Amino acid sequence: MYINGEWLHAKSEKTREIINPFNQEVIATAVEGNAEDAKTAIQAARVAFDEGSWSTMPASERGAIVNKIGSLIERDLEELAELETLDTGKTVQESREDMADIANVFFYFAGLADKDGGEVIASPIPNSESKVVREPVGVCGQITPWNYPLLQAAWKLAPALASGNTLVMKPSEITPLTTVKVFELMEEAGVPKGVANLVLGAGKSVGAELASNHDVDLISFTGGIETGKTIMQAASDNMKKIAFELGGKNPNIVFADADFETAVDQALNAVFFHAGQVCSAGARLLVEESIHDEFVEELVERTKRIKLGNGFDEDTQSGPMISAEHREKVESYVEIGKNEGAKLVVGGKRPEDPELEDGFFYLPTIFTNCTSDMRIVQEEVFGPVLTVETFQTKEEAVQLANDTIYGLAGAVWTQDLSKAEFVAARLRMGTVWINDFHPYFAQAPWGGYKQSGIGRELGREGMEEYTELKHIFRNKQPKPIKWFK
Ligand SMILES: NC(=O)c1ccc[n+]([C@@H]2O[C@H](COP(=O)([O-])OP(=O)(O)OC[C@H]3O[C@@H](n4cnc5c(N)ncnc54)[C@H](O)[C@@H]3O)[C@@H](O)[C@H]2O)c1
Ligand SMILES: C[N+](C)(C)CC=O
């Protein structure tokens, strides 16, 4: 753990083994912090913020430090990518792309650091001046999940630092490796002591302390809805600001006039990329009834050919689930789907390949004959499971797509631009892709409608989450008003 500029063991001296989900080998032993460690880190961040040298440092200097972190990530990209693949099982090619994205996130927010000089507004009061400025929120608690460990950390670290906050980060207890490494790089880049602190450990101890502690001014969380609700309740105790990136059950709408080859290819990628462990996975395929049979037949054929394996093998297309526990959750959803009457057309079990037997693998799975009242359609499985529904009109497609508590992302495939725009305008989601699936980048805000989140990461809006707005009014000719004689 990294607290107040020092690398420390947990006070309890407890440790946790970090497991490679491909073969269950122990790849590292991490210290296991608890609420006491979190309190120490929060105190360090509080002192660093209140002392003020980071928040009042010229923004261009802060930006230069954030930029340096991006350069160091580029320098150590291969090492970081390998760590991420060891820790999550994702393909090393995907990890390399994540690391390149992550460096860009630091570059982007570094560039924003000195761009907001505040705004002079038109005061209605004579002989006065009014301006609105943005200031850092203060001490930020940041909690991240296991599916994109460093990417989700970067979306929080870069804007928080660039806008002058101090922070305490808690990565997922099962995938801390790349986050630890990036804290080493932040130290090397010159982030002053106490400004960025790292506490490893479980959500119920370290995470809960970050959520409830009164010295934390903002809690930024990426993870599941149920955890989000718990954190929201704890955060209400001191009314800290909250920024939440939660789950999704994202529709992928394919009209009959879509380019067939591209739509099939991308429907596979939408749901099975990273074994479906993606918040924005296209887990609900809504396909126009007239092409359903042909589309599903082609999908099934290609699904059977997906190559599962070791993320370090260049021909592996998908790795394992993150843990035994998570695979069991996916398996239980497949049973639920079968019992609800959905038709299992491919997958639905663990692979039989003996080379995969030590990993937490699960075959890519497709259910047809699905209806929106089924749990398998409504709930986030967060694994390689696709449900297929049909529609006849664009209005029906929109109605089915929006029939969910989630609102993270969705896609529409058609060659008719007016139809695409009709759908895009009506989807109640933070991101809509037209004839594509999955793109996200530092310049565009990311986040959810409805129960998929509160606030935004990335883009200017992702920086603004880490600021408070202040109105400064100056009376240029103060004189007594004599209300009270
Ligand atoms: N919207 C997005 O951008 C986005 C991105 C990635 C993942 N996700 C979501 O994350 C979920 C998967 O991640 P997960 O299984 O790690 O989620 P999770 O909610 O189980 O855990 C996320 C983090 O919260 C911590 N935590 C757990 N209990 C806590 C508590 N009581 N108080 C404070 N912290 C606590 C965990 O230790 C972990 O660090 C999925 O629902 C996925 O959709 C969303
Ligand atoms: C936000 N994203 C797509 C990078 C990861 C979601 O799990």
Write out the chain's pLDDT in tens, 485 residues.
999 999 999 999 999 999 999 999 999 999 999 999 999 999 999 999 999 999 999 999 999 999 999 999 999 999 999 999 999 999 999 999 999 999 999 999 999 999 999 999 999 999 999 999 999 999 999 999 999 999 999 999 999 999 999 999 999 999 999 999 999 999 999 999 999 999 999 999 999 999 999 999 999 999 999 999 999 999 999 999 999 999 999 999 999 999 999 999 999 999 999 999 999 999 999 999 999 999 999 999 999 999 999 999 999 999 999 999 999 999 999 999 999 999 999 999 999 999 999 999 999 999 999 999 999 999 999 999 999 999 999 999 999 999 999 999 999 999 999 999 999 999 999 999 999 999 999 999 999 999 999 999 999 999 999 999 999 999 999 999 999 98
Question: Is residue 65 exposed (0-12), middle (13-18) or buried (19+ Cβ within 10 Å)?
Answer: buried
Query: Which ligand has the minimum distance to the alpha carbon of residue 203?
Result: 1
Task: Supply 42's token pair.
Answer: 């929060």
191: which DSSP letter?
A: P
Whose CA is closest to 147, among 225, 226, 88, 86? 88
Is any atom of ligand 1 closer than 6 Å to the C-beta of 380? yes
Task: Supply 262's token pair.
Answer: 């591209």
CA atoms of 16 and 28, how far apart (whole Å): 8
Is any atom of ligand 1 closer than 6 Å to the C-beta of 455? no
Distance from the alpha carbon of residue 425 to the mean position of ligand 2, in angstroms: 22
The residue whose CA is least distant from atom 2 of ligand 1 is 245
The yes-or-no answer on residue 245 being catalytic is yes
Q: What is the DSSP string of 216-277?
A: --EEEEES-HHHHHHHHHHHGGGT-EEEEE-----EEEE-TTS-HHHHHHHHHHHHHGGGG-
For residue 446, list its beta bridge partners: 457
Distance from the alpha carbon of residue 85 to the mean position of ligand 2, in angstroms: 16
Is any atom of ligand 1 closer than 6 Å to the C-beta of 204? yes
Is any atom of ligand 1 closer than 6 Å to the C-beta of 279? yes
Distance from the alpha carbon of residue 222 to the mean position of ligand 1, in angstroms: 5
Distance from the alpha carbon of residue 223 to the mean position of ligand 1, in angstroms: 2
CA atoms of 157 and 181, how far apart (whole Å): 13
ipTM of the complex: 0.98
The residue whose CA is least distant from atom 6 of ligand 2 is 279
Task: Supply 456's token pair.
Answer: 């935004």
pTM: 0.98
Whose CA is closest to 359, among 367, 346, 350? 350
CA atoms of 433 and 440, how far apart (whole Å): 10
Q: What is the position in ligand 1's atom list of the atom closest to the CA of 457?
A: 3
Exactly one of 84, 94, 209, 245 is catalytic; name it: 245
Which amino acid would we find at residue 352?
Answer: E
Q: What is the position in ligand 2's atom list of the atom closest to the CA of 151?
A: 4
CA atoms of 225 and 45, how far apart (whole Å): 27
CB 376 within 8 A of CB 336: yes
Ligand 2 site, CB within 6 A: 147-148, 151, 278-280, 440
Residue from 105, 148, 220, 272 to probe ligand 2 pocket by mutation (most atoms less than 8 Å from CB): 148
Give the pLDDT confidence of 337-394 residue by residue, as tens digits. Answer: 999 999 999 999 999 999 999 999 999 999 999 999 999 999 999 999 999 999 999 9
Give the pLDDT confidence of 131-171 residue by residue, as tens digits. Answer: 999 999 999 999 999 999 999 999 999 999 999 999 999 99
Distance from the alpha carbon of residue 485 to the mean position of ligand 2, in angstroms: 63
Q: What is the position in ligand 1's atom list of the atom closest to the CA of 171?
A: 39
Is any atom of ligand 1 closer than 6 Å to the C-beta of 142? no
